[in-house]
Every structure is written in C-alpha cells, then in structure tokens.
Structure 1
Amino acid sequence: MSVKLGPNRYGKAEIRLVRVVRDGPVDDAVHHVKDLNVSTSLSGDMDAVHLTGDNAAVLPTDTQKNTAYALAREHGVGQIEEFALLLARHFVESQPTVHHARVEIDEYAWRREGPHSFVREGGEVRTCAVHHDRDGRSTVVSGLKDLVLMNTTGSEFHGYIVDEYTTLQPTTDRILATAVAARWRHTGDTTAYGKSYEQVRGSLLDAFAGTHSLSLQQTLYAMGERALTACPEICEIRLSMPNKHHFPVDLSPFGLDNQNEVFFAADRPYGLIEGSVLREDASDAGFAWE
C-alpha cells in the first residue's frame, strides 16, 4: 500500500488583539478601540516538515502571533478586511516557502459610553428569579448578566501585598474590563420592574465609566452604591465581576514601543470580584436571593 501527503496547512488560532488609539491631548483624549480575534493559516512548500520533521520551511505560529501585534502597532487597524490583507500579504511576500495565507478576523463591537468607556454590543441577558410562599410573601430578584464593559484608561492597581511569590507589577494606567453579572432585590412595593431595570442598568454604566478605579473592588462598590441611590425600590444588589485582563504586548524585540496601544486580551485565569451592597435596614433575602 502506498500513501502520500495530502493538502495541509498550519497557523495560529484566535490571537486576541486589542488596539487602542488616543485622539487628542493625553489628559483629555478620546479613545477608539478595535477588538479582534485573529486566526492565521499558512500553506505551501511544507512537505518536508510532515515527512521528515525538517522545520526549515516553517514560520513558527508564535511568530505569526507576534507579526499580528507588530503590524497592528506599526500600521494601525482600520477595516478588518484591510488588516487581514496586510497580514496575509506579509506572510506570502516575506516567506518563499509560504504560497498561500489565510487570515480570518472576528471583530467585537463596542458602543461608546464616554471618552474612554465602552459597552460591548450584543450578548447581554436580562434575568429574574421569583419566590412565593403559601403565606403570601413574595420575593422578586431582577438582574442581568454578560454586560461587558471596558475603560481603556482611568484604572490603577498598586499598594497590594507583595510576598516571595508575587510577580505582578504595580500600574497607574491599565485597561479595566469586566463582564458584569448583577442581581438586585426589590422591596416589594413596586411593579415598575421595567423602569427599575433601566435605572439600575444605567446606574451601573454611569458608575463604571465615572469611577477612577484603584481596584475592581472599589468600582464594584461604586456601581452598587449608585444603583441603590438611584432606585429606592431596591434594597440590595449583588455583583459578580471577573477581571478580564488585558496585557500590553512587549514589542521591544521588534524595535517598537507600546505606550498602552496594543494589548493581549487574556482568556483565563482571571480575577473574580464579588460583593453585595445593601441598605442598612435590608432584611434577609430568603430562597430566591440564593
């Protein structure tokens, strides 16, 4: 029996790339965001690597990842089709063994909420949980989940415990991004659930955008406090907020600087911040809250 190598390709899948552009003076700039998921795939004169393990024709997938970050820094990211063409042409024109390059990009849309605050479009879910006892008592808990928010500046983190295992460096300027899950308990004297939902949601957005954050915990409390202040018909709000880390890419090996412009959007692990804010006279929530 004889066999032969068939069509093949290789590449780097799901390169998470966030590009931030600042428009205007540093202290009063309007930020613009491009949030991309980039996948590259190359094919060509690649028989030897499969048949004998000779890597001479192979452009490492790590290099493909670095190329995406570097070209985003050098050329910016306009329309995703243009950036995909830039990448694909680079791979084919710079590497004789690469005869075909495929670049696929997903772009995540963000709606502006302020000069450097954004809400991710799509995916947000409204929730509720209701418990009713035979004695006539009812508990209504409303909520939302997957409300993805991002501030591209106005966030710091420093002054924390440092021990022999600490490698995290303090920062006075970072991206703060999260996917908010919130549940709030009604006092029982309202039926205007739609109105209170909009008020709570708006309060969460306003507080997130308007808080200069020294920690995600501080931001969580500010969001809960704002919601309770705006909505007297709710007595408690519980928030769960993962810290969706964005790390500046080190472009110095390629002779490029990176002044908080090109980021790697990490998937996991992530910090998870949870807490509740409640009125001092709030009673026990009961089954529906848990």
Structure 2
Amino acid sequence: MATKLGPNRYGKAETRLVRVVRDGPVHHIKDLNVSTSLSGDMQAVHLTGDNAAVLPTDTQKNTAYAFAQKHGVGQIEEFALLLARHFVESQPTIHHARVEIDEYAWSRRGPHSFVREGGEVRTCVVHHDRDGRSTVVSGLKDMVVLNSTGSEFHGYLVDEYTTLPPTDDRVLATAVNARWRHTGETSSYGKSYEEVRQAMLEAFAGTHSLSLQQTLYAMGDRALDTCPEICEVRLAMPNKHHFLVDLSPFGLDNDNEVYYAADRPYGLIEGSVLREDAPDAGFAWE
C-alpha cells in the first residue's frame, strides 16, 4: 500500500506565562496561556527521523518567555504576531506559524493586589506564513449570559419522539464562545475587543428571542455593524436549559420563579455572520 505524508504541524501547547510590570509601588499583571505551532519543510523528521529542520518545542516555550521580557506584553494579538513572525523569519525550514493565546483577567484590589475575574477568557489566534501574509482572529469564550424572560420557542417540527412543550416565556441562558476575523492589522485590538463584546451583550439583552439561532445572528450582526475592522464573526452558544420545577406535590404554585438548571444534555447552536464582501478566510480559522 502506497502512502504519503499529509498536512502536519507541531508545537508547544499551553505555555503558562505571567508578566508583572512594576511601576514603582503599583504593579500591572498579564496572565496568558500561549500555544505555538509550526509547519514547513518537515518531511524528513516524519519519514526518517532527521531533526535538522525542527525547532524544538522547548525553544518555542523559551521564546515566549524571552519575548515577554524583551518586548513586554500589550495586546495579546500583537504579542502573538510578534512570535509568529519571529519563528517564520528566523528559521528557513519554518514556512507557517500559528500562535494561540488565552488571556485571564485580574481586577485590581490594591497597588499590588489582584483578584481573578470569573470564567470569561479573552482569546486570539494568529497565523503568519513565509509569503508575509498574516491573519488575526480575536475572541472570547465562556461569557455566560442570561435573559430571565423575553424568549420563546414554538412552531418547531414535531414527530412521534417530540415531548418538548412549546413556550412563549422561558429563561434563555448560554455561555458565548465567539471569534471574529479582522480584515487587516488593527490600530487598537483592545478597543475593538471592547466594542465587539459590548455590541454582542447589547444584542443579547435587546433581542426578543424566538430561537437561540435568532439571537446568535443578532449578536454577530450587531458586532459587524459596530466594528468596521472585522469581517466575520463565528459563534458557538450552548443552550443552558432552565426547567420550571413542578411544586404542585407540595401545594405550591410556581409562576415562572423556581427553575432547575441542567448542565447536560444541552443544545449547541453554532453559526457565522459575515459581510457580503468579506475576503477569503484562507487559513484564518485553522
């Protein structure tokens, strides 16, 4: 049987990096999870075990730490671009670099005291190749939101296995995982992040929802309308079901007040919203 080597890449996953900037008695903190992945002229290492083209994953880890000290850590997209370009431009066998960063938020409680924020995480994925092309996808994950009313679900397909009753008043809750693609390099990734995040929150709160799909589209549409520097938004939104508890066995009424929050199973709604003239995504989402 004849075989050949297909697409491949390798790297260092989840390098934990914390950078403290000491501005006199006032300190600033950046808390990152950095993953790097490289590809290029790598046939020999797979076929014969020749490592001559391989930049060790330990070196990739050390580069992240060294660059944090040498260049500092500002916006995660800029730090990811710096790393990706370095790997491609410094090693002739590396033709493509992918850098993914998660950033964990801390709130100040004193000059050098912080408290870790909740579950929401800021993210980015950057690609850079030997032709000089770069793509930047920013995002967030685990942003938990809930509307206690203003959501309906009815008029759906019904067959012999359907037991779900229609409703014109339900709790709508989800953990938003969103990514958005930039059309080019952005003057302020931090500003665009806040604009997109706020636009999605406003759309979630302001949409009378007949389905979570409708809400997803409204959130992506609002983000694109608000931020001209992005051209596509992809969202994954699990439906965090809240079921009304039957309190009649205890002689109690339950007028949409007491719910059971189920974590499994859950509906998973996914979709993308993009401008009609959005450029080809290329490798941006890989």
TM-score normalised by the chain length of structure 2: 0.59
Superposition pairs for residues 92-103 of structure 1, below 5 Å? Answer: none
Q: Provide, for residues 78-104 of structure 1, a one-character-per-residue CA deviation record: whole Å limited to 9, x for no partner.
A: xxxxxxxxxxxxxxxxxxxxxxxxxxx
Letter in 2 for 1:159: G
Query: Which residue is 1:284 aligned to?
Result: 280
What amino acid sits opposite 2:200 in the alignment?
Answer: L
Q: C-alpha deviations, 1:266-286, integer Å up to 9, x for none?
A: 010000000000001112212
1:176 pairs with 2:172: yes
Alignment correspondent of 1:57: none
Which amino acid counterpart does residue 202 of structure 1 have in structure 2?
Answer: Q
Query: Which residue number in structure 1 is paired with residue 227 of structure 2?
Result: 231
Q: Residue 215 of structure 1 aligns with which residue?
A: 211
Aligned mates of 2:207, 2:184 — CA distance in 1: 30
Return the alpha-carbon distance in structure 2 between the equivalents of residues 125 and 191 of structure 1: 22
The CA deviation string for residues 25-63 of structure 1, in whole angstroms up to 9 with x for no partner, is: xxxxxxxxxxxxxxxxxxxxxxxxxxxxxxxxxxxxxxx
CA offsets, 1:167-219, max 9 Å, x none? 00000000000000000000004231000000000001000000000000000
5 Å matches for 1:58-137? 122-137=118-133
1:186 is the counterpart of 2:174: no
Matched, 1:148 2:144: yes
Give the number of the structure whose alpha-carbon radius of gyration is greater: 1
Among residues 242, 260, 263, which one is paired with 2:238 in the alignment? Answer: 242
Structure 1 residue 159 displacement after superposition: 0.2
Identify the residue that residue 258 of structure 1 maps to in structure 2.
254
Q: Deviations over 1:121-161 (max 9, x none)?
A: 71100000000111111000000000000000000000000
The residue type paired with residue 270 of structure 1 is Y
CA distance in structure 2 between the aligned counterparts of 1:279 and 1:288, rounded to whole angstroms? 16
TM, length-normalised to structure 1: 0.58
State how far apart, in whole Å, the 2-side matches of 1:158 and 1:271 are.
Answer: 15
Distance 1:282 1:267 in 2: 36
169, 175, 199: which is aligned to 1:203?
199
- The CA RMSD over aligned residues, in Å, is 0.9
AA in 2 matched with 1:193: Y
Q: Which runs of 4+ in 1 moved over 3 A?
A: none
Whole-Å separation in 1 of the counterparts to 2:125 and 2:282: 12
Which residue in 2 is equivalent to 1:271?
267
The one-letter amino acid paired with 2:220 is G
CA contact (8 A) 2:136 2:185 kept: no
SS at match of 1:289: coil
Q: Is the 8 A contact 2:181 2:284 kept in 1?
A: no
Q: Which stretch of structure 1 is more off in the superposition, 249-258 or 185-194?
A: 185-194
Matches of 1:271 and 1:283, distance apart in 2: 31
Deviations 1:218-260 (A, max 9, x none): 0000000000000000000000000000000000011001011
Matches within 5 A, 1:24-63: none
Q: AA paired with 1:275?
A: G
Q: Which amino acid aligns with 1:259?
A: D
For residues 190 and 142 of structure 1, the distance between their equivalents in structure 2, rounded to whole angstroms, comes to 11
Partner AA of 1:224 in structure 2: G
Distance 1:159 1:199 in 2: 35
Counterparts of 1:126 and 1:157, CA distance in 2: 31
1:79 alignment partner in structure 2: none
SS in 2 for 1:218: helix
